[in-house]
């Protein structure tokens, strides 16, 4: 695959001619709506084998080859050049595809209301060929150790049809919020814990779940050791019954990090107990906060740098959002919440209001500003092919287990194409 960023004056036809493919291929691959107009700064995925590189001032074969992870002799050979040949600025070079590595991919799916929407079912169907795990969110733990299940509808059948492991997500949610008191009730009563683990095992067997995933958040800091002991007790039971066990972790950058989200999550101990963990590396930019990238790569890298000092990289799944936010300006704390939008919708907004898409190099994330029809100013931060590829490169650099997406339902076709281009997705079910 090639990622192409649209420049001023370019059209779908001119880009297609450059890569020697049809315009319809670009339109269908990127799901560009009629009338098929582009936005300056928009990233396109170009479905070619390998990629094309345009030589810049000062480039050498050796430098280019090193940047792409191949030998300069191979780069010279595939382009019919001499190894010591001087390059011309603007010259086209073909970069052959690199070997793919194995990863695991998870995606949460969160149904609302009294029945699962057709759009959400279709999103799960479209994503499942690229998934190792599918995680309906969530089984709510009640104060007596019983469970309130989510709507499942077609999810078990979709998982089975695509050799995807069903992940059973357990949360301490009460009335739509993570409850510290519910967490305390569970973690300080071994009888309730035993009942809870019994109910988890019975429900998982009945419904076909193979991985048990604990997402207990905003736990009281003083329950840190109790949470570790509960997970250790649960792991012993679950392993005997043949289940995997995974845990969602707040995005910490040190063991001493303060804050209600962080303190009860002990990376070294939980990393030693769990089969794998999911780092919730998103929501730096969130709906109730000031505008910024949702998962800026500089912040994500800090979390990974800490995590790999506490557990093997092969236990770590990198959290990744499949959405962006549209903030109305000026931002006022406690004021109007930003609206979650899909990457596709973000591009539509930029096209509608005829504004270019910019790219923050530090955060490795796209954004743009616009003024709506009521003269309100907005800023949108979202994900595109470049920002996702940056996270994929991070997974490769650190040798991480894979990626976990929050959450299905907002269309982002480029993401799945880039997974296929970068990785071989592990399927745990034969």
What does the angle CA 289 – CA 109 – CA 412 come to, to the nearest 5 degrees? 70
Residue tagged 């000031």 (tokens): 290
Report how far apart, in Å, the C-alpha atoms of 2 and of each of 44, 277, 418 are: 8, 31, 9
Encode 2-43 in three state secondary structure. Answer: EEEECCCCCCHHHHHHHHCCCHHHHHHHCCCCCCCCCCCCCE
User: What whole-number distance in Å separates Cα of residue 190 and Cα of residue 428?
Assistant: 33
Any catalytic annotation for residue 383? no
- Name the β-bridge partners of 343: none
Count CA atoms closer than 13 A to 67's CA, side-chain side.
Answer: 9
Asked if 8 contacts 17 with a C-beta cutoff of 8 angstroms, the reply is no
Cα torsion 379, 381, 385, 388 to 10°: value is 170
What does the angle CA 28 – CA 34 – CA 36 come to, to the nearest 5 degrees? 70
Chain-centre distance for alpha carbon 115: 25
Which ranges of 208-360 does DSSP label H, i.e. alpha helix?
224-240, 267-273, 297-307, 343-352
The DSSP element (H or E) to which 245 belongs, if any, is strand 244-249
Burial-class residue 223 by CB neighbours within 10 Å (0-12, 13-18, 19+).
Answer: buried
Chain-centre distance for alpha carbon 275: 20
Please list, residue by residue across 110-120, b when 16 or more beta carbons sit within 10 angstroms of its beta carbon and e when fewer do: bbeeeebeeeb
Report how far apart, in Å, the C-alpha atoms of 177 and of each of 22, 29, 83, 272 are: 49, 38, 61, 28
User: What whole-number distance in Å separates Cα of residue 387 and Cα of residue 274?
Assistant: 29
Catalytic residue among 31, 110, 175, 217: 217
Q: Which tokens hold the place of 259? A: 């804050």
Catalytic positions are: 217
């Amino acid at each position: 695959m090639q990622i192409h960023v649209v420049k001023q004056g370019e059209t779908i036809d001119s880009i297609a001619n450059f890569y020697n493919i049809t315009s319809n291929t670009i339109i269908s691959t990127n799901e560009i709506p009629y009338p098929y107009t582009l936005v300056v700064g928009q990233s396109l995925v170009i479905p070619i084998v390998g990629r094309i590189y345009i030589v810049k001032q000062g480039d050498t074969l050796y430098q280019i080859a090193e940047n792409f992870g191949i030998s300069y002799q191979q780069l010279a050979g595939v382009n019919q050049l001499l190894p010591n040949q001087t390059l011309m600025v603007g010259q086209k070079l073909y970069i052959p595809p690199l070997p793919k590595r194995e990863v695991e991919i998870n995606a949460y799916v969160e149904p609302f209301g009294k029945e699962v929407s057709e759009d959400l079912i279709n999103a799960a169907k479209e994503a499942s060929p690229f998934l190792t795990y599918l995680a309906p969110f969530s089984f709510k733990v009640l104060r007596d150790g019983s469970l309130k299940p989510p709507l499942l509808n077609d999810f078990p059948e979709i998982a089975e049809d695509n050799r995807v492991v069903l992940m059973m997500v357990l949360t301490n949610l009460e009335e739509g919020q993570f409850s510290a008191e519910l967490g305390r009730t569970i973690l300080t009563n071994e009888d309730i814990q035993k009942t809870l683990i019994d109910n988890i095992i019975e429900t998982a067997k009945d419904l076909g779940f193979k991985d048990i995933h604990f997402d207990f958040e905003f736990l009281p800091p003083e329950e840190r050791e109790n949470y570790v002991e509960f997970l250790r007790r649960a792991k012993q039971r679950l392993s005997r019954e043949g289940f995997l066990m995974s845990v969602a972790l707040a995005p910490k950058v040190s063991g001493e990090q303060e804050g209600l989200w962080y303190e009860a999550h002990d990376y070294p101990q939980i990393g030693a107990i769990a089969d794998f963990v999911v780092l919730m590396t998103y929501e730096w930019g969130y709906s109730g906060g000031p505008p910024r990238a949702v998962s800026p790569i500089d912040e994500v890298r800090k979390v990974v740098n800490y995590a790999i000092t506490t557990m093997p990289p092969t236990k770590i799944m990198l959290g990744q959002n499949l959405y962006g936010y549209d903030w109305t300006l000026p931002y006022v704390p406690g004021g109007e919440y930003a609206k979650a939008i899909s990457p596709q919708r973000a591009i539509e907004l930029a096209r509608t209001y005829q504004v270019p898409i910019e790219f923050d190099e530090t955060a490795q994330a796209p954004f743009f500003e616009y003024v709506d029809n009521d003269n309100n100013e907005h800023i949108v931060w979202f994900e595109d092919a470049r920002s996702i590829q940056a996270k994929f490169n991070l997974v490769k650099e650190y040798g991480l287990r894979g990626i976990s997406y929050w959450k299905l339902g907002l269309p982002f076709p480029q993401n799945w194409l880039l997974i296929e281009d970068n990785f071989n997705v592990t399927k745990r079910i034969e």
